[in-house]
Amino acid sequence: MADKTSPASGWPKIQGDFHVGDEKSAVAVITVGSHLDEQAVCDAGAAICGSCKTENLGLEKIVANIIANPNIRFIITCGTEVKGHLSGQCLQALHKNGVEGGKIVGAEGAIPFIENLTEDAIKRFQEQVEIVDIMETEDLEVIKAKINELTAKDPGNLPKEPIVVEVKDDSAGGADAGESGEEAEMTAEVALITARMKVIQQSVTNIGLQNRFYAGVYSGKIEGLMIGLIMSFVILGFLLMG
């Protein structure tokens, strides 16, 4: 029998739009943009099952809940993709490539920016689980069969302590979460505008850093010239005195 451990106290740690099953199960199911019979999926043996409509906060919640439970070793992605956000593809990119400069490498969604996950949390996510992609599948029997297949391959819990991370939800009823923690999908147009604002903000930050660098270089040159001039006068004085 596969070894099992206890997840972090109070698991799942992050509120969201999902149902919870057996916390000792090796399988989590993400229905991406579809709302299926999540309780039936959990009854079939999943540890947790829910949708994910955004490629930033939504993914952060998934990762936070997964790494807080070392028993979960597989994530099934199923259901339909979310237009504009492409949260299913972004989840796979996060697992495969990680994050660089706050952005998921290789993500094709409009705003794939990660703010609440540390590098260690992302590495743990990559190490702990395997993603099994059956995207565009909404057939419960197919999903249940895949759960059974993966349960039979259960390698046991990852022999490491649960990791608890805080996901700060600043939306407060805005674009990413509703009153019950359910994500509200932004339109593709709004998502595109938000993404462009993020890019502009990053560009402004980079320009500021470059200006500070060049100012430092210029200041260093002036200081160097002054020191050289003073040293020249000192040497000249010694020569005249000699």
Give pLDDT, residue 233.
Answer: 73
Dump strand ranges (E) for the chain.
18-20, 27-30, 48-50, 74-77, 99-100, 103-104, 130-133
Give pLDDT, residue 228.
Answer: 75
Q: Number of folded domains in the chain?
A: 2
Q: Is residue 73 scored above 70 in pLDDT?
A: yes
Check whether residue 171 and residue 225 sit in a common domain. no
| pLDDT tens, position by position, 2-61 | 999 999 999 999 988 899 999 999 999 999 999 999 999 999 999 999 999 999 999 999
Please report, for the chain, how many H helices and E strands are present, in that order.
6, 7
Residue 55, domain member (yes or no): yes
CATH code of residue 62:
3.40.50
Check whether residue 150 and residue 92 sit in a common domain. yes
Residue 57, domain member (yes or no): yes
Band (pLDDT 50/70/90 cuts) for residue 191 is low
Give pLDDT, residue 234.
Answer: 73
Dump strand ranges (E) for 55-203.
74-77, 99-100, 103-104, 130-133
Greater pLDDT, 226 or 93: 93
Check whether residue 192 and residue 181 sit in a common domain. no
Check whether residue 148 and residue 220 sit in a common domain. no
Q: Is residue 197 scored above 70 in pLDDT?
A: no
**Residue 25 · residue 49 · CB < 8 Å:** no
Check whether residue 77 and residue 139 sit in a common domain. yes
Check whether residue 72 and residue 127 sit in a common domain. yes
HSE-up of residue 99 (Cα within 13 Å, Cβ side):
22
Domain boundary among 143, 161, 186: 186
State the DSSP code for 30.
E
Q: Is residue 204 scored above 70 in pLDDT?
A: no
Check whether residue 239 and residue 159 sit in a common domain. no
Give the domain extent around 240: 188-242
Give pLDDT, residue 15.
Answer: 87
**Chain position carrying tokens 């079939």:** 44
Check whether residue 232 and residue 136 sit in a common domain. no
| pLDDT tens, position by position, 92-144 | 999 999 999 999 999 999 999 999 999 999 999 999 999 999 999 999 999 99
Residue 51, domain member (yes or no): yes
Q: Is residue 224 scored above 90 in pLDDT?
A: no
